[in-house]
Amino acid sequence: MSAASSPLVLAGRRFLSQWGATAAMLTLGALAASVMAAPVVSSTLGIDLQAVDLMNRFAPPSPLHPLGTDDLGRDVLLRLLEGGRASLLVGLFAALGSAAIGTLIGLVAGYFGGRVDAVLMRLTDALLALPLLPLLIVLAAIDPAKLGLPEALVFSDFAGLTRIVIIVSLFGWTTVARLVRAEALRLREETFVLAARAQGAGSARIMTLHILPNLASPIIVATTLAAGNVILLEAVLSFLGLGIQPPTPSWGNLLTNAQELVWTAPTLAIWPGLLILVTVVSLNIVGDGLREALDPRRATG
Amino acid sequence: MRYLGGRLFQALIVLLAMSFVIYGLIGLMPGDPVDLMISADPRMTSEDAARLRAIYGLDQPLADRWAAWLGAALSGDLGWSRLQAQPVLDALTPALGETAVLMGVSLALTIALALPAGIAAARRPHSALDRAVGLLAFLGISTPPFWLALLLIIAFAVHLGILPAGGAGIGGGVLDQLRHLVLPVLALTLAGVGGYVRYVRAAMLETLGRDWIRTARAKGVGERRLLLHHALRPAMVPVITLIGIDFGTLFSGALVVETVFARPGMGRLIYDAILGNDYNLALAALMLATFVTLLGNLLADLGLVLLDRRLRLGEGAP
């Protein structure tokens, strides 16, 4: 290995040397690419995602419809991919939201320590111990207009997606906060922090300029792991009819439809769940792989 | 005992705080009770509505309304359920019973599966058995619980036709009710067991590496006694902690499972109450869910105190 390799290149090599993590990363890439390509494919083939074709209900797989059609004669594969786009986008943004909240709380708790740390970590523990899903359902049912938001914003499609992203983020940050806090607790004793403080740097400056950049690894790892959880949460909420609303498909609400049809077309229930499983498994493997790769203490060579 | 007292105090604070948060959130649900009256009576004018809001105190500040609700609730008056047309308390009791059975059986089964699997995996780390157990646990954690429930319905109700796809068999005999319980319990157990297996394995692995295990082995203690007596007891401490922390997750899982299998439990009740604007019922049910979860936490703490003598003597938290 050449001496000029940057830490990032080294981490990249360590990541790629784990075949499981590499395969999981490729799987995620392929999934993301196919869900993004779905609108292009449907427009070139001239298939309308929402077009109802009642003469063609529950059609078996054919070259035109590789996975057959659903109860309204819509193409199952296209709806799966379209649903994946909603699920993955919500998952991505909710993971980023969780990362932001978790980093802020973890950083403050770890840097200040003492009573601040105790209060914030108690809060994290309390949140973990609560019955999450009933609370999520209430949050999903509240009327944003009562919070004083303008009507036009409340009833748009965009608002529906934003709402679910916010709700899921509010509960998904605990993993990130824990990992970030542990690392911040360690970093604040480091000599470079002492040096900065000796030079008169304030807490805000030390936290943002000196500690935060060093937290990149735990944040990346925790966010990847949290993304899996967040996608599961979104799926449950959509399944219960409180997340992404039909006719916009998502993996969760496709399963709601599949449950109603479980006696007539049981295969409809297989695919959306399988894709959620593959996504979550891949995210967890990639997260573990990143942890191995980004930990300089494990570095060899 | 000081440890338990502290925990109890903490739980009460959380419960009080949550009652305020939940009260506030319920207030943010669409409409209010007077809106429902208006929709029932088209002749009502806006002056009537304002007068009614004043009579029922809906124009008061949030904190005052919350205090009034809390006072009434503590004296046993939880109000009237709009959807079920009966006092909230009467609607909650049977639902809580249903959910308690589902959660209790599932938790017992989870532990009965996780302990042997975790111990067996920890005995020979990185063996084929350990890898297989690890893989299954990993898959279990990553599977959406409601999908698992659907797969069980497809396999056992649609294809094999040997178990019912939903309902609780109320009105049928005990045997019929048990038949209705099999798939929900299985779904809830499979959804949670993976996490427990990983935890048991990690805890056992840690204790098996301790000095007193080596000493016991050197003394000639049999493998069976070594595992079950010397290693399992200390390893149970983190496992019991997990049961306490995980109680909320178990409740959430029960909610999902009850929805998929159309069982008349707490989960179903909360879901219907929230979507049906049954404010009193939703509020009481959510508070009960929080209370039950915190109670589960406390019971786990009690278990810890019984298990760990240091805690009983008040030498601090583990």
User: What pLDDT does residue B30 have?
Assistant: 74
pLDDT at A95 over 80: yes
Q: Say if the Cβ atoms of A281 and B294 lie within 8 Å.
A: no
* Contact assessment for residue A257 and residue A71, using Cβ atoms and an 8 Å cutoff: yes
More confident: A300 or B82:
B82
d(CA B286, CA B266): 9
Among left, alpha and beta (phi > 0; psi -120 to 50; other), residue A297 is alpha
Nearest-CA neighbor of B286 among B265, B264, B262, B267?
Answer: B267
Q: Say if the Cβ atoms of B146 and A272 lie within 8 Å.
A: no
User: What pLDDT does residue B108 have?
Assistant: 93
Nearest-CA neighbor of B254 among B105, B84, B83?
Answer: B105
pLDDT at A143 over 70: yes
d(CA B32, CA B277): 8
Average pLDDT over residues B205-210: 84
User: What pLDDT does residue B65 have?
Assistant: 81
More confident: A46 or B243:
B243
Q: What would the pLDDT profile of B258-274 be if each residue is shown by its tens digit?
A: 988 888 888 888 888 88
* Contact assessment for residue B201 and residue B118, using Cβ atoms and an 8 Å cutoff: yes
User: What pLDDT does residue B189 have?
Assistant: 92
User: What pLDDT does residue A54 have?
Assistant: 65
Average pLDDT of chain A is: 82
Q: How confident is the model at residue A10 (pLDDT cuts 50, 70, 90)?
A: confident
DSSP B218-248: HHT--HHHIIIIIIHHHHHHHHHHHHHHTHH
**Amino acid at residue number B75:** S
Measured torsion, CA atoms of residues B159, B164, B167, B172, in degrees rounded to the nearest 10: 160
Q: Say if the Cβ atoms of B25 and A232 lie within 8 Å.
A: no
Q: Say if the Cβ atoms of B245 and A128 lie within 8 Å.
A: yes
Average pLDDT over residues A173-187: 89
DSSP A55-77: GGTTPPP-SSSTT-B-TTS-BHH
Q: What would the pLDDT profile of A240-271 be if each residue is shown by its tens digit?
A: 888 787 778 888 888 888 787 777 777 888 88
pLDDT at A152 over 70: no
Q: What would the pLDDT profile of A216-225 be if each residue is shown by its tens digit?
A: 888 988 898 8
Q: Judge whether A258 is closer than 8 Å to chain B, CB to CB.
A: yes
Average pLDDT over residues B60-80: 80
The proportion of chain A whose per-residue pLDDT surpasses 90, expressed as a percent, equals 12
pLDDT at A19 over 80: yes
Q: How far is Cα of residue B249 from the mean position of the Cα atoms in its chain? A: 6
More confident: A129 or B143:
B143
pLDDT at B290 over 80: yes
Neighbours of A126 (CB within 10 A): 17
User: What pLDDT does residue A301 have?
Assistant: 38
Q: Distance, in angstroms, between A84 CA and closest chain B CA?
A: 15
The proportion of chain B whose per-residue pLDDT surpasses 70, expressed as a percent, equals 96
User: What pLDDT does residue B318 have?
Assistant: 43
Nearest-CA neighbor of B81 among B280, B284, B289?
Answer: B280
* Contact assessment for residue B192 and residue B251, using Cβ atoms and an 8 Å cutoff: no
User: What pLDDT does residue B142 have?
Assistant: 87
User: What pLDDT does residue A278 have?
Assistant: 92
By mean pLDDT, which of A21-25, A105-109, B23-27, B128-132 is the weakest?
Answer: B23-27
User: What pLDDT does residue A1 have?
Assistant: 46
User: What pLDDT does residue B77 have?
Assistant: 77
User: What pLDDT does residue A49 have?
Assistant: 66
Q: Say if the Cβ atoms of B252 and A143 lie within 8 Å.
A: no
pLDDT at B128 over 50: yes
Among left, alpha and beta (phi > 0; psi -120 to 50; other), residue B255 is alpha
The tokens for B20 are 């305020």
Q: How confident is the model at residue A164 (pLDDT cuts 50, 70, 90)?
A: confident
Chain B residues within 8 A of A146 when measuring between CB atoms: 27-28, 30
pLDDT at B313 over 60: no
* Contact assessment for residue B78 and residue B93, using Cβ atoms and an 8 Å cutoff: no
Q: Distance, in angstroms, between A85 CA and closest chain B CA?
A: 18
Write down the pTM of the prediction: 0.83
Q: How confident is the model at residue B316 (pLDDT cuts 50, 70, 90)?
A: very low
**Cα angle, residue A261 at apex, residues A49 and A62 outer, rounded to 5°:** 50
Chain B residues within 8 A of A235 when measuring between CB atoms: 144, 146
SS3 of B127-146: CHHHHHHHHHHHHHHHCCHH
More confident: A132 or A112:
A112
Nearest-CA neighbor of B258 among B149, B164, B143, B144?
Answer: B149
Q: How confident is the model at residue B126 (pLDDT cuts 50, 70, 90)?
A: confident
Query: Which residue of A137, A143, A250 to mutate against B (max B Cβ within 10 Å)?
Result: A137
Neighbours of A209 (CB within 10 A): 11
Q: What would the pLDDT profile of A191-239 be if each residue is shown by its tens digit?
A: 898 899 889 888 888 888 888 888 888 898 889 888 988 898 889 888 8
The proportion of chain B whose per-residue pLDDT surpasses 90, expressed as a percent, equals 9
Interfacial B residues in 52-111 facing A (CB < 8 Å): none
Peptide bond into A247 cis (omega under 30): yes
Chain B residues within 8 A of A130 when measuring between CB atoms: 18, 248, 290, 293
Which helix (H) or strand (E) segment is B274 a member of? helix B266-275
Q: Judge whether A276 is closer than 8 Å to chain B, CB to CB.
A: yes
Chain A residues within 8 A of B150 when measuring between CB atoms: 255, 258-259, 262, 269, 273
Query: Which residue of A139, A151, A239, A261 to mutate against B (max B Cβ within 10 Å)?
Result: A239
The tokens for B46 are 């806006």
Q: What would the pLDDT profile of B84-101 be if each residue is shown by its tens digit?
A: 778 888 888 888 888 889
Q: How confident is the model at residue A276 (pLDDT cuts 50, 70, 90)?
A: very high
Average pLDDT over residues A103-120: 91
Q: How confident is the model at residue B206 (pLDDT cuts 50, 70, 90)?
A: confident
